[in-house]
A and B are shown apart, each in its own frame.
Chain A
Amino acid sequence: GIQVEQSPPDLILQEGANSTLRCNFSDSVNNLQWFHQNPWGQLINLFYIPSGTKQNGRLSATTVATERYSLLYISSSQTTDSGVYFCAVLTQGGSEKLVFGKGTKLTVNP
């Protein structure tokens, strides 16, 4: 099945720093979503981005579908950005389902 690899697995930042999280996937996909899992375990959908670039406040994401990767940018990080960021891709053909990467655990220190 499709493989989804996220890097880095862990990231520690000082408040105010910028960061880039990467997601590589092994096959063509119909959709890609970025999630933030908050301390209560909820999966918060950040972006639905099968291709191109989107921005939402301090966060932006870019997916280059032809090269099978996506990037999540966090600028001017805040302590509330801490948590695990998951990339998930929607498989093509047959029964479509989201396949998740292992996540990047982000810690933003004050």
Chain B
Amino acid sequence: NAGVTQTPKFQVLKTGQSMTLQCAQDMNHNSMYWYRQDPGMGLRLIYYSASEGTTDKGEVPNGYNVSRLNKREFSLRLESAAPSQTSVYFCASCSKGINSPLHFGNGTRLTVT
């Protein structure tokens, strides 16, 4: 059981380049999330998808787009990368229910030069 799988694990981009971070879960979860984590700032919600076909902005959505491709997959796209987007990105998922915890992928470490 793989859980939440993120690709790639590491990426270096130049300013202005674009890329898509991929995330897939095999737990039949309804909700999926993208967070970024910067030193001393905890996890900040970028976008989330409460169910297949819906997406909503989180705390820091500017500069990002998302696609909930199907129930399993939720991708995060940077159209024109900026140095301020250097961070560790985590995808997470959870099932329905207020006590359902988030399950995290292993993260993508992105550096924008």
Do A and B bind? Answer: no
Binding site for B on A (CB under 8 A): none
Binding site for A on B (CB under 8 A): none
